[in-house]
Amino acid sequence: IAVDGVCLTVTRHDPRGFAVEAIGTTLSRTAIGGLEPGAAVNLERALALGDRLGGHLVQGHVDGVGTVRGVRREGEHLLLDIALPDEVAAVTVLHGSIAVSGVSLTVNALPDRDVVQVAVIPYTFEHTNLGHLREGDRVNLEGDMIGKFIAHLLTRRGGMRGAEESREA
């Protein structure tokens, strides 16, 4: 199950809930270790092989932790500006996808080299914990899966520097 975007194995469950175990690596690379008892989290079951895909490709493998830089209402939706770690910024493109605390969203804008802006529609605001985010909150980020594979291939072939330069253009 993905808990705020972190893919975890259910180790025990009953009608009232479930238990998971997170190793030190997971706790050091995600914001999940900072959760308080009773915190609202986004939950998503794993997709079974062969099921219909209805959105962005997301694995539940957190690439880095971002920090909310700004939250503002614009009409009915919410705009979130999030500071990105380098490894996520390198694979983030305008109108590409990014998962924020397990919620896959379209990149609305890139206001700065290391900042992404996403728009949260009322349905997502009401059915996830994104509507509760405040400036300074830490969020789990998963970069665009296709972008990650392309960046990896370019790096292996020595061409990532050119890919980063084209992102700036």
Instruction: Determine which helix (DSSP H) or strand (DSSP E) holds 35, and give its type and residue range.
Output: none
On whether the CB atoms of residues 133 and 80 are closer than 8 A, the answer is yes
Report helix angle 160-168 to 145-156, nearest 10.
130
- Residue whose pair of structure tokens reads 């893919």 in the numeric block: 7
Model-wide pTM > 0.75:
yes
Q: How far apart are CA 132 and CA 3, in angstroms?
A: 16
- Residue whose pair of structure tokens reads 């009232």 in the numeric block: 16
φ/ψ bin of 136: left (φ > 0), alpha (ψ from -120 to 50), beta (otherwise): left
Q: What is the pLDDT along the chain (169 residues), one digit of tens a residue?
A: 899 999 999 999 999 999 999 999 999 899 998 888 888 999 988 778 888 876 667 777 889 999 999 999 999 999 999 999 999 998 899 999 999 999 999 999 999 989 999 999 999 989 999 999 999 999 999 998 888 888 778 888 876 555 455 455 4
Which residues, including other chains, have CB under 8 Å from residue 95's CB and lie 6 or more apart? 106, 107
